[in-house]
Chain A
């Protein structure tokens, strides 16, 4: 307490000087609505609370990190989202990205795949313009040609009902690779976030998606034990407008919902929670993001102990992937986006992430080019090796500001979790539109701040310059002839199947979906082995389990 007494009069002096020069009128709030003071100092005696609030990395409450060594031991996986055009184009591109230093791979399919339809049913203009066409096992095999899928971690952007994973497991089977060697994550397995905030990925009705998700988690736990079947996604909600604190709170509430669903299937939290991973947006609101991640880690650590009785330290780890926010990038003066991505990436690193995607600077103009994807990877390497951001564990820990902000964010996040608890949990809170309204209101509020100049965006509402379009990178789209060939190939593959075998595979799938106790994911595997395309499998499941129509709250 002596310490505080010593700073007491000095603090009062400083406050007086500050008020004289700036006054009380300059209020600054972060995106989560927390008022940020001009200066932080040790107003509380922190020494007594260190063990309780911070502790050591790898030990409760894990505020400072989930592993003892953090980035000093193993840095994050560099996981870039790529995918363009044909499977062969993707394969060529992924090899080049792996050569430039990426350590894990991630696949984005074409939007038509996200919507669950095969390429022969899509308007040709938009086919393959945003990702890779993956309709058949052959498409997946070509995409992963010469890629050692038993050695490299794979991130699949593969929404419920998980046909890309089905295809990849069959590719492994055909290559003689045991499923126990397959590692990676289903990055788009959080159907609740799709229902709320990213409708493109939303394919089956809420109850249907819930059923398939639980069948998949159950099946994978037994047969593909190193696969993370569940990644809970805060990114969509923040991209849709949730503040950083809301996005964290809603994500943790979603995780609570899924954990209850797993418990209802008789699974043990000490086991299944080991496989839960998270996926977040990293905005450019630097300190706020660092505090968001530190607070989220601490809350999760405590929450799984209190609500689910977890004792296994591995099941308390808040493992997360971060993606720099495309929403902060501007079309104006696009090269400025490299600076923005750098600041976002730093926030992610100081937040203690396990895996990262950095956006290409041209993402706001089009699907990222090969050059911009390489710059995005180099940005991570420069921060790691030249800026030495990984030398010390949780380097911002102990900053008066960061610790105070971590506490304040924690309070905001817990408020959101409390609101969702009051609604009866996340499933009910999205069914009623409660969450959608919360996010929509925050989106408008932030847009207002940009419109009225409260939030300055360089090149957009300040520091504008006349620009001509020639400074922007030229876009390359897959030639229509390539897409036409892909459609033709699908027709050939479809024609070469044994109709009786295919019909049985799809009929068994239908029966599994209609039944109460058969495993739908297992039936999907069998249907695809029988030759079914992703579009055909999803069509059957939509028929039995219901089409995914998002609740639109405008």
Chain B
């Protein structure tokens, strides 16, 4: 298995829960797309089951969850649902307004990284690229 990622990273950028503020998720989608990744973008209020199904159908490496109003509290449920669906290799990153007290819980639940307001483009892009490569390597062999 090569260490080098030869196909573009596939990233699902979405919002779960109740909030609909999507300036952040749209900007992130544009960043990742400009960096050459294949971005699957959804409208807000996705159900966890829908995110899992889409991740499977689209064969994504990374899921980016944008949360500005406490919807990040549902991410541990998403992590459990991904594991349940044999998608444990898919990496999840969260961006938006995540209080410090909650960040530890998200990381403990298996989230790869939490991006806060002020995070810069290059850091986000390079992290997602790295996680995508790791996800590809960790993919269950057929």
- Using a CB–CB cutoff of 8 Å, the interface residues on chain A facing chain B are 111-112, 114-115, 122-123, 125-126, 129-130, 198-202, 239-241, 330-332, 364-367, 440, 443-444, 447, 451, 457, 459-461, 469, 472, 474-475, 549-550, 552, 554
- Pick the most buried of A111, A201, A332: most chain B CB atoms within 10 A of its CB: A111
User: Which residues on the B side are within 8 Å of A125 (C-beta)?
Assistant: 73-74, 77
Known: A365-B97, A469-B100. 6 other contacts (CB 8 A): A123-B77, A126-B74, A199-B45, A365-B99, A472-B99, A554-B30
Task: Return B90 CB to nearest CB of chain A, in Å.
Answer: 21
* Contact, CB under 8 Å: A199 / B74: no
B→A interface (CB under 8 Å)? 17-23, 26-27, 29-30, 41-45, 69-71, 73-74, 77, 97, 99-101, 116-118, 120-121
In the complex, the 8 A-B pairs of residues with the closest C-beta atoms, listed nearest first: A199-B20, A200-B20, A111-B18, A129-B70, A125-B73, A469-B100, A460-B118, A554-B41
Contact sample, A vs B, 22 pairs, CB 8 Å cutoff: A111-B69, A112-B18, A114-B20, A125-B74, A126-B71, A129-B69, A130-B70, A199-B20, A199-B22, A200-B44, A239-B23, A240-B22, A365-B97, A443-B26, A443-B27, A444-B30, A447-B121, A549-B43, A550-B44, A552-B41, A552-B43, A554-B29
Chain B contact surface mostly: loop
How many Cβ-Cβ contacts under 8 Å join chain A to chain B?
Answer: 97
Once bound together, how far apart are the Cα atoms of A123 and B117, in whole Å? 26
A306 to B4 Cα, complex, angstroms: 65
Roughly how many angstroms separate A92 CA and B19 CA in the complex, as a whole number? 26
Which one of B29, B43, B71, B100 lies within 8 Å of A550 (CB-CB)?
B43
Question: Chain A residue with minimal CB distance to B27?
Answer: A447
Docked-complex contact B118 and A332, CB < 8 angstroms: yes
| Chain A nearest CB, measured from B79 CB (Å) | 13
User: How long is the Cα–Cα vector from A444 to B28 in the complex, in angstroms?
Assistant: 10
Q: A115-B45, A554-B29 are in contact. Are A240 and B117 (CB under 8 A)?
A: no
Contact B18 A200 (CB under 8 A): yes
**A126 to B117, Cβ gap below 8 A?**
no
Q: B77: which A residues are within 8 A, CB to CB?
A: 123, 125
B23: contacting residue among A114, A240, A366, A550, CB under 8 A: A240
Given contacts A126-B71, A199-B43, A469-B100, contact A550 B20 (CB under 8 A): yes
Q: Which residues of B contact A554 (CB under 8 A)?
A: 26, 29-30, 41
Given A451-B120, A461-B120, verify A472-B69 contact (CB < 8 Å).
no
Known: A111-B19, A202-B20, A330-B118. A440 touches B101 (CB 8 A): no
Rounded to whole Å, the gap between the CB of A446 and the closest CB of chain B is 10
- Within the complex, what minimum Cβ distance (angstroms) separates A347 from chain B? 21
| List of A residues within 8 angstroms of B22 by Cβ | 199, 240, 552
CB distance from A284 to the nearest CB of B (A): 15
Provide the residues of chain A in CB contact with B69, threshold 8 Å: 111, 129-130, 200
Question: Are A115 and B18 interface neighbours, CB within 8 A?
Answer: yes
Report which residue of B18, B30, B42 has the largest number of chain A beta carbons within 10 angstroms of its beta carbon: B18
Contacts of A114 in B (CB 8 A): 18, 20
